[in-house]
Every structure is written in structure tokens, then in C-alpha cells.
């Protein structure tokens, strides 16, 4: 069998909790009743942002040579 990565999110109890909470979410309380901040942080990490293991102040060379693969 296969394990879906979104298996937890598809559970009936989790779906019901989301349905119950969604009508209460407003611009004013978004950060209090959701984990939007955690979601955003994890999402940005996928693309190299907000990572603890990256020194964003370090000097970098914007011109890096690399081998091009030709088909």
C-alpha cells in the first residue's frame, strides 16, 4: 500500500474541525486561531528562505559557472 502525505489532513475529524473553524477566521484573528505563521515559515523554507542554516548576510558571487547538460 501507499501512504499519502496528506493522510492526516483527510481524516474526518480533522476535516470537521476545519469546517467548524473556517467561518470564524477573520483578518483580525487569523494569527490567533490558525497556524498561518507556522505554515508560512515552513513554506518559505522549501524555497531557501527563513532557514536557520543559511547566512543571508554572507557575500555571494551572483555569477557562478556550471556545466550545462545538453540533450
Over range 11-36, report the average pLDDT: 95
Does residue 35 carry a pLDDT above 90? yes
The model's pTM is 0.61
Residue boundaries of the structural domains of the chain: 1-52
Residue 5 is predicted with a pLDDT of: 67
Query: Which residue did the predictor score with more confidence, 1 or 49?
Result: 49
Of 7-11, 18-22, 40-44, 66-70, least confident by mean pLDDT is 7-11
**Which triple of cell numbers denotes residue 7?**
493522510
% of the chain beyond a pLDDT of 90: 79
Calpha distance 44→2 (Å, rounded): 27
Amino acid at each position: 500500500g501507499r501512504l499519502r502525505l496528506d493522510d492526516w489532513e483527510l481524516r474526518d475529524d480533522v476535516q470537521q474541525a476545519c469546517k467548524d473553524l473556517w467561518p470564524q477566521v477573520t483578518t483580525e484573528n487569523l494569527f490567533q486561531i490558525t497556524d498561518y505563521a507556522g505554515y508560512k515559515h515552513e513554506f518559505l523554507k522549501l524555497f531557501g528562505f527563513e532557514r536557520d542554516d543559511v547566512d543571508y548576510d554572507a557575500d555571494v558571487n551572483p555569477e557562478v559557472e556550471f556545466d550545462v547538460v545538453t540533450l
